[in-house]
Amino acid sequence: MERIEEIWVSTSEAAELTGYDQQYLQRLALKMSRLPEDERLMRLRSRTRRYEFWLPDLIQYMEKYGRGPHTPKFISDK
């Protein structure tokens, strides 16, 4: 298995790396930011007017839910 860099990535970088739509990742980050840290599916941090994802957690999320741009049921706005 390829070693994944332990770095923070912006939503635009995350979109490039995963195939997820950038707007989907922004909505995902916003929804996760509202949860207590111990309930989030991945680590994220808020920067001025943007979010960043912890790359190893994002890759793990992608492997579990698949490549984008689909919207998993738990994150849909319905």
Q: How many whole angstroms separate alpha carbon 68 and alpha carbon 78?
A: 19
Between residues 15 and 66, which one has the greater pLDDT? 15
Work out the average pLDDT over 8-31. 92
Between residues 68 and 7, which one has the greater pLDDT? 7
Instruction: Enumerate the H helices of 5-44 as residue ranges.
Output: 11-18, 22-33
Q: Give the pLDDT confidence of 35-66 residue by residue, as tens digits.
A: 999 999 999 999 988 999 999 999 999 888 87
Q: Is the pLDDT of residue 72 over 70?
A: no
What pLDDT, on a 0 to 100 scale, did the predictor assign at position 41? 92
**Residue 63: count of CB within 10 angstroms of its CB:** 9
- Best CA proximity match to 11, nearest among 41, 62, 72, 55: 55
Q: Is the pLDDT of residue 78 over 50?
A: no
Q: How many whole angstroms separate alpha carbon 59 and alpha carbon 17?
A: 9
What pLDDT, on a 0 to 100 scale, did the predictor assign at position 65? 82
